[in-house]
Structure 1
Amino acid sequence: MTSSNATIDPTALRELLDTGNGVRVLDVRTPGEFESAHIPGAYNVPLDLLKEHRAELRAHLDDDIVLVCHSGARATQAGQSLAQAGLPHLKVLAGGMLAWRNSGAPVNEAKARWNLERQVRLVAGAIVLLAVLASTVIPGAKWVAALIGAGLTFAAVTNTCAMGMMLAKLPYNRATATCDLGTIVAQLREGAPTAPATR
């Protein structure tokens, strides 16, 4: 694998996993999203934890790494963080879990949860709708809608999302199992990712 933040398609990743070529799949979604559905054998390393502890994680990642999220945006950010920490063998799953599912590849599933991107659309849309409705009574409320629009524009331009980062910290997006640095490092050391039952 190359040192650039290259992509790999679901078919190629599935072949690598089937042949046991020493590739590790790091899923950077929230623990709740991961618990809901993930690639068998993947390790859950949430993006915020990965960014904060990339140097510590770097010491336990010497294999070829494929980064996964819902659609590819968070995995790309994770790849940039790990590349800055000196990890040379990174790829991003093109299209993320959406593409993986669409390819018919196996998925470990448990209780279904809304993914983070869908939650952001719900919250942003609800705030804008309420602000517009409130502006019929309180004219200044329209500026709340404008602020959300500006935030979404900034999120698109910078490929970051402050609202998504805040929502990721809600209990809904945290799995029942622990997902802290110590647990993740132990799993990486032992080569034993968490694997809820396949449905």
Structure 2
Amino acid sequence: MDWRQWHQRYDDPDSALSRRLEAVQAYVRAALDGAPAGTVPVVSLCAGQGRDLLAVLEDHPRAADVRARLVELDPELAATARARAPEQVDVVTGDASLTDHYDGFVPAELVLLCGIFGNIADADIRRTIAAAPQFCRTGATVIWTRHREDPDLVPTMCEWFEEYGFEQVWLSDKDAGFGIGVHRFTGVPQPLVKGQSLFSFVPGGA
């Protein structure tokens, strides 16, 4: 997969990816709107160019409260995010599956898992969801994406989120042309287990 070419589809306003981005950004905005007073920690795994978060921070009234860690393996995509990021957003060029990258930024108020679940094995999806309580403080929002092609794993993923202490806030329709889930963590945060690798990419579509 040429991820730089893949990201160019964001610039086509008629593409499904562009419409997915708009929906993700709307829920990022909603999560920041509802965040408690004080610092708002955010982590984004496989952040790409950081569009999910950075565009929202440009005009959001809580932008100065956000302290974020974005992790992206591709150095060119990470450099694009870094050039656009405000001072309080840290962009790391590295393997987003490694839990060590999030030490000091979790438990977070907002966790972005976009562009991951369509590119990893089912077992890795479940492993990542099972680890999500390590990333979330109580009440945190998790926004994730996954295609809805058959066999559609999304209903099972929602069951996994529920199993690990999350309640569903919103799920895009199967015929929307993209898949987005929004879940809220209602459980008790777990300590971050460093040294873990949660997933590895396999051929597929985000």
Would you say same fold, with TM above 0.5? no
Structure number with higher relative contact order (C-alpha < 8 Å, ≥ 6 residues apart): 1
Richer in strand (by share):
2
| TM-score, with structure 2 as normaliser | 0.29
- Structure with the largest fraction of helix: 1
